[in-house]
Amino acid sequence: MAALAMRESQGRPAWAADPKPFSVLRGHTSSVNTLKMRLGCTASSTILFSGSGDETIRCWDMQAGKCIQELESAHTGYVSSLVMHDDYLISASFDRTICLWNADRRSLIRSIKAHAHCINSLCMHESGV
């Protein structure tokens, strides 16, 4: 399964392994900048997290094709990057913060103001260290 983010006006969908679109996810009020997929035990439990210029992170049920939660108030700027490790989602923003989330409960664990300037990207070693 793959997902693709583009400007709303272009109307491009997300694609499965075959090139036929299976879902168009609408909800953000600004461009989507980053995506991170959390694969479940079954296709019906796959969750997609999206970060946007509207300062929010949305959680999407890929089977149902709908937003199941909006993670608000953690960032006050463009959400620029998302990474996953085990049960954690980590987000970065132009507001100079990095947020650690419990991906299962979709709740904020901690917010760290870590930089003097915008954070463009995050990465994590596969070991999680």
2 domain-assigned: no
126 domain-assigned: no
45 domain-assigned: yes
Question: In this predicted model, what pLDDT tens digit does every residue of 66-115 receive, in sequence order?
Answer: 999 998 777 999 999 999 988 899 999 999 999 999 998 999 999 999 78
In total, how many domains does the chain have? 1
Residue 11 has pLDDT above 50, yes or no: no
56 domain-assigned: yes
Residue 4 has pLDDT above 70, yes or no: no
25 domain-assigned: yes
Question: Global pTM?
Answer: 0.80
122 domain-assigned: no
Distance CA(65)–CA(24), nearest Å, equals 7
123 domain-assigned: no
- Residue 24, classified by CB atoms within 10 Å of its CB into exposed (0-12), middle (13-18) or buried (19+), is exposed
55 domain-assigned: yes
- Phi, psi values for residue 24, rounded to 5°: -120, 120
Distance CA(67)–CA(61), nearest Å, equals 6
Q: What is the span of the domain harbouring residue 90?
A: 8-113
What's the CATH code of the domain at 25? 2.130.10.10
